[in-house]
Amino acid sequence: MGSPRLALVGAFVVGGLLLFAVGLFMIGDRRQLFTEHFFVVADFGNVTGVQVGTDVRLSGLPAGEVTDIVIPPAPGGRFQVQMRVREDLHSLVRTDSVAAVLTDGLLGSAFIQIRAGTESAPEVADGGTLAGADAVQVADLIEEGRETFRLVADEFVGLRQEMAETFSGLGETVETTTLLINDVGNDVREVTTVSALFMDAARGVMEDTRGIVQGVANGEGTAGKLLTDDALYTHMTGMASEVEATMQAVRGSAEQFEQIVGGLHGPESAAQRLLVDAGDVVTYARDAMADLAENTEAMKRNWLLRGFFSDRGFYNLDEMTVEEYRVLLRDERYTPLRIWLRADVLFETDENGGVTLADGAEERIEEAMGELLQYPRNSPLVVEGYATAGGPGQQFISAEPSRTTWCARSAARPS
């Protein structure tokens, strides 16, 4: 009796153990506990939704799970997430691969996605480090969307205000335009009224003109007679013929006059020859005048003709002797007016024996000249020098420097 019962118990236990082993195997296989794998580490600044056991995918293929999360020692540090990855996928994980925290949909669970590297990069070593990309949080997206919405709302409010102001200005412009149109309409009405009056006046003038033309056509008035009277027409035709003949005669005379004038303008015409002759005469006259001036100058220097020229105020004292000058003084044709000035008043002798004008001499000379200003300035004036000291030669020489000194000083004075 005991053997079947023991066998049943033994079978139950063995079955239980088999079920436990199968379940354990299935769980281990599900978590890939029985496959070869390698470890990699990635740094993240934000590990929201990531915990030990979080799935790791390589290009969407399940590749392992998170095995550990190392907390940074200080704020601002990055979390180090250790992952276990299937060894058969090791050839796809290169040193330039990037691990990122993603979520299944908007509200799904988080997982770490490893992007396969490039062929040029070497395979990452077991325990190597990959670059980590922080997850994009829905909350952050919502916050950014909210900020964007607020900005859009503000812009919309501002745009609405601007549109309101624009429409307000447009309304004022419409009102102004309406007023302007009304004013223009009034002006147009006034112009129309004036135009109507003008048209009435023009119509009256046209009627009057039509009446005048009708009267002329009927032979009324002077104009009508001119148009309708045959006798008057014949008379006027005769007058026109006479006028035409007269004009032909005048035209012939004008042509003859033009021929005469053309003859005067010709290069060989008498008038041209006359002009050439006149030019020659002027040239000869100019030469003759030059010769006459030279001859006159020579005649003035001739002693025999000096009397002639002296009557006209010409003298040449350089060619006169003292006796000739004394004769001139006694000539009855002249009236010499003489003012005597003493030498001791006018001159003084310096230590070198030179003769100079004495102090007050200039005032004395000006006083003497003042006496002569009452006579015409074209009257000849002679400065006579006298000297009594020494012999005749010395007296003459003494008379000369006195005159020279006086003339030099007088010429040096400003006019």
Partner 1 sequence: MRTFRRAAELTGTMPIGPEAEDSPSGDGRWDGVALTLFADPALIGRDPAVAAVP
Binding interface with partner 1 (CB under 8 A): 313-315, 317, 320, 322, 325-326, 329, 332-346, 364, 366-369, 371-373, 375-389, 392, 395-396, 399-400, 402-404, 406-407, 410-411, 413, 415
Least CB distance to partner 1 at residue 295 (A): 18
Q: Which one, 265 or 413, has the nearer CB to partner 1?
A: 413
Q: Min. distance of Cβ 395 from partner 1 in angstroms? A: 5
Residue with Cβ nearer partner 1 (5 or 333): 333
| Least distance CB 270 / partner 1 (angstroms) | 48
Please tell me what DSSP assigns to residue 81: E
Compute the least distance from the CB of residue 288 to partner 1, in Å.
24
What SS3 state is found at 359?
Answer: coil
> Which residue's structure tokens are 């102090």?
359
Which residues, 6+ apart, have CB-to-CB distance to 313 below 8 Å? 378, 380
Nearest distance from C-beta of residue 362 to partner 1, angstroms: 10
Q: At what angle do helices 270-300 and 230-265 cross, to 10 degrees?
A: 40
Closest to 401 in 3D by CA, of 351, 357, 339? 357
Tell me whether residue 56 or residue 346 sits nearer to partner 1 (CB atom): 346
DSSP letter for each residue of 256-298 = HHHHHHHHHHSTTSHHHHHHHHHHHHHHHHHHHHHHHHHHHHH
Nearer to partner 1, 139 or 373 (CB): 373
Q: What angle do CA 27, 30, 36 make, to 5 degrees?
A: 110
Element (H, E) at 409: helix 392-412
Shortest gap between Cβ of 375 and partner 1 (angstroms)?
Answer: 5
Q: Can you tell me whether residue 218 is helix, strand or coil? A: coil
CB closer to partner 1, 98 vs 305? 305
Q: State how far the Cα of 149 lies from the Cα of 151, in Å rounded to an integer.
A: 5
Shortest approach of partner 1 to residue 387 CB, angstroms? Answer: 6
Tell me the CB-side half-sphere exposure of residue 227, using CA atoms within 13 A.
12
Cβ closest to partner 1, residue 115 vs residue 364: 364
Position 141, amino acid: L
352 vs 378, which CB is nearer to partner 1? 378
Nearest by Cα to 339 from 369, 380, 375, 374: 369
Residue 313 or 353 having the CB closest to partner 1: 313
CB of 286: closest distance to partner 1 in angstroms? Answer: 24
Are the beta carbons of 89 and 63 closer than 8 angstroms?
yes
> Quick check: 368 and 341 in contact, CB under 8 A?
yes
